[in-house]
Structure 1
């Protein structure tokens, strides 16, 4: 039996003072056209890198330096096995960390060409009611982002990271 080769990644639930979450728009080309997914910023953990070091690096690259209010807490975890989640891997394990900060205009160290190579086409601050009320063609990751986000905003950091679906 072959073991599953999963890519380990970190993602930041970046919440501003108004409890809006910063999400990036991924426009992912596929055989059926382009799929648009709004995801938390982040990416892969490199060999020898801690999760928090990877989180800081990924945020610097994608959205710019973020002033953390304290050490980010791990709030969610997600394992997704299937093709297309991480090239060269059987799937991905995402660890989500809460990052509280003031609202800002995202602009990381990556060039527009580097962002496009990662399929990142836009950034947007979303309120919980906007996510709940969204009925357009774009997807969120996780698909039911509103439920764990509402719990996080209402109840704060969980004692144990919440397991998420795809």
Structure 2
């Protein structure tokens, strides 16, 4: 199985709102954390810095701890990968207005259709599909208990 490595950011502002990206594919739409695959020559930190600039416009981050892991199987649209192994890192920031550096065509190629802040109440009440699926509960637990001592496997 061909799995690529990925890096994702759990971006939380001073009011514990989380910044999520809507990814839209032909057969589904879901909300997930900003991030993506690691390019050749990059590490997880460099990938997160790049992905946050591309998808949200956020720059000058201080990368927090690696808190979650997730391996998910899905065929990439180009057929190069069978899935991805993601590491999720905590990023604290002041609230900002998302302004992706990618143009509309580049965002479409990345399947990004929206970027917005969510309150904890909005997450808990939403009927939207999230990735990971238990994202609302996972964020609640992260805020309640703080970062885990070892990264948690958060499933699909």
Task: Give the TM-score category using the shorter length.
Answer: over 0.9
* Residues 31-70 of structure 1 mapped to structure 2, 5 A cutoff: 35-68=28-61, 70=62
- Is 1:111 aligned to 2:103, yes or no? yes
**Ranges of 4+ aligned residues in structure 1 off by more than 3 Å:** 84-87
Q: What is the distance in 2 between the residues matched to 1:13 and 1:149?
A: 9
CA contact (8 A) 1:23 1:125 kept: yes
- Structure 1, unpaired ranges of 5+: none
- Is 1:123 aligned to 2:120, yes or no? no
Partner of residue 133 from structure 2, selected from 143, 160, 165: 143
Q: Give per-residue Cα distances to partners, 1:60-117, cap 9 Å, x unaligned.
A: 111113343x432111000012435884111111110100001111112210111011
State the partner residue of 1:18. Answer: 15
Q: What is the distance in 2 between the residues matched to 1:128 and 1:56?
A: 25
If you compute each CA radius of gyration, which structure gives the higher value, 1 or 2?
Answer: 1
Q: What is the distance in 2 between the residues matched to 1:116 and 1:81?
A: 22
What's the TM-score once normalised by structure 1's chain length?
0.88
What's the TM-score once normalised by structure 2's chain length?
0.93
What's the offset of the Cα at 1:127? 1.4
